[in-house]
Copies of this chain bind each other. A is one copy, B any other.
Amino acid sequence: MSAWENTVELDAAVSLRLLSDARMGRVGFWTSDGPTILPVNHRVLDGRIVFRTGLYTSVADGTRGGTVAFETDEVDDHMLSGWSVLVVGRAEHVEETVDMAETFHRLNEPWAPGSRPVVVRITPSQITGRQFTRP
């Protein structure tokens, strides 16, 4: 039940780099069932978080608009040290054809929606990061 004893705030540039290097994070939003946190594979494009999800999923429903949280972290096996980055921002679905085509092109991905045709984009309004260690 121990927790990090020492926490150091990371600046926005470092936090954005950690977010960009990570390949997986968690999106958080409020639904009619309460608060939800679910993992996704993300990328960062022009400082905005982009990921795909399925139609009619709770992630799709929760990112149609409005404010969401996005978190990524890395903690070592023994919990001796780690960091986390938290983004708060506005989520939207990329729906305009040219916009979607350019997004896929720039991510160097084939435009093949498959079973995850919804492209979610989060524009950060706030990025914070923290590094923690145990004494």
Contact = CB atoms under 8 A, between A and B. Distances in A.
A75 to B, nearest CB: 6
Interface of A: 1-5, 23-24, 26, 28-30, 33-43, 50-54, 67-71, 73, 75, 79, 82, 84, 86, 88, 107, 109, 114-116, 119, 125-126
Contacts of A43: 1
B88 A34 contact: yes
A52 to B, nearest CB: 5
A23 to B, nearest CB: 6
Nearest to A75: B24
Contacts of A51: 1, 3
A79 B51 CA distance: 14
Contact of A107 (B1, B38, B82, B84): B1
Nearest to A125: B34
Contact of A28 (B3, B69, B126): B69
A79 B41 contact: yes
Nearest to A116: B3
A61 to B, nearest CB: 15
Given A1-B43, A79-B24, A30 B33 contact: no
